[in-house]
Structure 1
């Protein structure tokens, strides 16, 4: 019993119970939440365009094969016997056969082999695919934009714990919907639902860090570490999704994310205790007052335009690669790896440099680099294969 008691005293639960109010543990929870949220955000980037095109292509091929069938609407050949020249004619949609004797074999129609290339040619179907993928990806940001102004005042009234845990629950449901949905409507609903969960996790998580890290420099470093989880999710998501989709299937990456989300939810449930309502001691500033602040408007505009660049590439780049480069499925996600690596490095470097060189200068340099990069991408040309 002595050895058992000693192991129990040094167990993980005991350590978590002692460190429940630790700022580092709260930072770890926010880090993991942003990591999983952005992995789900980016893991669909290489999967959805290829998956939707394959579904639509199979439906189009099925309709084409049905229309080219030599059978009549009833599913049998129609025969006409001529008593004048003793011949038999078989009629269908596009087949007629004349035989002078019963031993003459009937001609058969040979269907051309279907093109299974991962590089479809530019056509109306591919153009419609681009529009559908763009609308699906935009649904998450649209819902999050609508939800964010309501989550802020809600956290001021009931605390950060309940919205944080609610964000986990919503994201878990959204992940399962992505795993098992096979129609565009359900995928669109899953992406929109993710916007609500992301709003709860990001707003409550950042607010929680701001409340426990009161020093300006410490707060900047903590937010930089938390954004490192965001950057890690953006880094891992596209290649992870494309490789799993290529070699395992569409469902596997989302099930793995669902398991990781359950572990994060268990950690939140034990540490944060989301059943307690703990209103903030200070009353939150109204939204109208915040929108009148020029610094907040400049910061919001910088974040908006910086993310707009990568948001335009997410639906367009995979389909453009499918049209011009004939890539494998795993290559659709690896194409985003350079941007993800630079983002991961930047969040860890500029969190420290911004406090020394000035945050406005750091933001200005970032906007200039984003603009130059987009100009380089837009000027790139490649002849279709």
Structure 2
């Protein structure tokens, strides 16, 4: 049986904690659906609003300017592979080497244009993480003054506004503003949500199950977001997936008003541990760096996988999101199947195994020649990431309970900062590295990084508590301390 709620101001919430868990899960679904909708279709959005407007001229990496015609697709069966006036093949059309000559599909024009988008798409995706990273410490301090309810409601409103901006964005700059606003909203949502769960579920076993359910909301959001956004974008229109998310966000806001009553500020009674003490804790830092590496991996995959599919597989737009489906399914299964087991066998062990499996999956991605070849590596990625995610958030709360004061705003701000560093460096650096070294070498480096870091989690097998970390005094020093 769980102990009573550690914060008197949250006693009422402890009595209605399962409705609170439902509200938090819905909030995470909304945030993650919007997050995953953008990533796979971002190259297609830029392709349509820039390349599709007309003869778009851009500066390529060699310093020369290239112009492209208005059409988005070209039927290669009606085109000659060689210009009559030149022996060189056309460089502004993409052919699928895996297709037979009699089964050629419509492919994207503008090979050079697509290659140049690695960096731009990476920066667009990274803006969210950068703004979220900068906002996290502010949210952590705000929670100490107002409680979790009001910041969580602010997160809903900002995410709703961001979804509307995405729906009507018609330029790269406008997309960047919407993406940055989304990062601010995510910071308010994620830090408040995880901190509130840690408070209202003080028992470690119940907390692990509750966070597993909440992270299932993340999995549902990721599962629905990528394919839903791609299909809606292809068959309904660019604005349609974002308007649907706006409606879902409004539903979440209504639930928060009725269940959480965010207009009532309830400052936390327990004095928070200073950020400096949390950051200098080596056990917290080992966990945070592992979380950063795991999200760095996915951050690098988000811009590079869709562009590789457009370049080498002639993938239609709806497949750009479906390519992530196997990883999300196995991620969802792991969150629900291993949340209880992780506490029994050791959360450190689940995280270590998960990072190794994730590294292996990443290294097999370059072998895929079509979307079906991505299924196996993607499934391994989701399985490994699920093993880690089902353990790392409860482990963070456990480390704070064990070694500091039970105030969770700071620790989940640090967790979200680690996540954001991964997603800031991942898209921004991943596109540049893929352009410089090639997709294959990028995947090899990412896989080795995960595999080599995983054994460090052995240090978290039995971390010492607060009393154990105090220095042992010799008898003379102990006597002097008692005399004082």
Question: Same fold by TM-score, threshold 0.5 exceeded?
Answer: yes
Is the Cα–Cα contact under 8 Å of residues 157 and 185 in structure 2 kept in the other structure?
yes
Change (3 A) 1:180 1:118: farther
Structure 2: state its 5+ residue gaps: 1-11, 58-66, 70-91, 95-105, 371-484
1:309 pairs with 2:303: no
Is the Cα–Cα contact under 8 Å of residues 133 and 315 in structure 1 kept in the other structure?
yes
What's the counterpart of residue 323 of structure 2?
335
2-structure distance, mates of 1:206, 1:343: 19
What's the counterpart of residue 139 of structure 1?
127
Is the Cα–Cα contact under 8 Å of residues 37 and 226 in structure 2 kept in the other structure?
yes
What's the counterpart of residue 53 of structure 1?
47
1-structure distance, mates of 2:294, 2:204: 24
Cα deviation for residue 46 of structure 1 reads 2.4
What's the counterpart of residue 122 of structure 1?
111
1:191 pairs with 2:185: no
Higher relative contact order (CA 8 A, sep 6+): 1
Change (3 A) 1:275 1:21: farther
Structure 1: state its 5+ residue gaps: 1-17, 67-113
2-structure distance, mates of 1:177, 1:45: 16
Cα deviation for residue 60 of structure 1 reads 5.0
Is the Cα–Cα contact under 8 Å of residues 178 and 187 in structure 1 kept in the other structure?
yes
Is the Cα–Cα contact under 8 Å of residues 153 and 284 in structure 1 kept in the other structure?
no
Is the Cα–Cα contact under 8 Å of residues 51 and 68 in structure 2 kept in the other structure?
no
1:242 pairs with 2:236: no
Cα deviation for residue 19 of structure 1 reads 9.3
Cα deviation for residue 121 of structure 1 reads 4.9
2-structure distance, mates of 1:149, 1:201: 13
2-structure distance, mates of 1:162, 1:38: 20
Aligned partner (choices 11, 26, 34) of residue 32 of structure 1:
26
Change (3 A) 1:379 1:26: same
Match of 2:111, SS state, is coil
1:167 pairs with 2:161: no
2-structure distance, mates of 1:308, 1:165: 28
Paired positions, count: 317
Is the Cα–Cα contact under 8 Å of residues 19 and 25 in structure 1 kept in the other structure?
no
Is the Cα–Cα contact under 8 Å of residues 167 and 198 in structure 1 kept in the other structure?
yes
RMSD: 2.1
2-structure distance, mates of 1:297, 1:174: 32
What's the counterpart of residue 265 of structure 1?
253
2-structure distance, mates of 1:44, 1:332: 11
Match of 1:280, SS state, is coil
TM-score if structure 1 supplies the norm length? 0.78
2-structure distance, mates of 1:253, 1:21: 37
TM-score if structure 2 supplies the norm length? 0.63
Change (3 A) 1:233 1:365: same
What's the counterpart of residue 75 of structure 1?
none
Change (3 A) 1:57 1:225: same
Cα deviation for residue 118 of structure 1 reads 4.0
Is the Cα–Cα contact under 8 Å of residues 29 and 217 in structure 2 kept in the other structure?
yes
1:229 pairs with 2:223: no
1:348 pairs with 2:342: no
2-structure distance, mates of 1:65, 1:334: 28
Is the Cα–Cα contact under 8 Å of residues 43 and 241 in structure 1 kept in the other structure?
yes
2-structure distance, mates of 1:65, 1:352: 55
Cα deviation for residue 380 of structure 1 reads 4.6
Is the Cα–Cα contact under 8 Å of residues 119 and 324 in structure 1 kept in the other structure?
no
Cα deviation for residue 256 of structure 1 reads 0.6
Change (3 A) 1:216 1:132: same
Is the Cα–Cα contact under 8 Å of residues 42 and 238 in structure 1 kept in the other structure?
yes
1-structure distance, mates of 2:358, 2:31: 23
* Structure showing greater Rg: 1
What's the counterpart of residue 365 of structure 1?
353
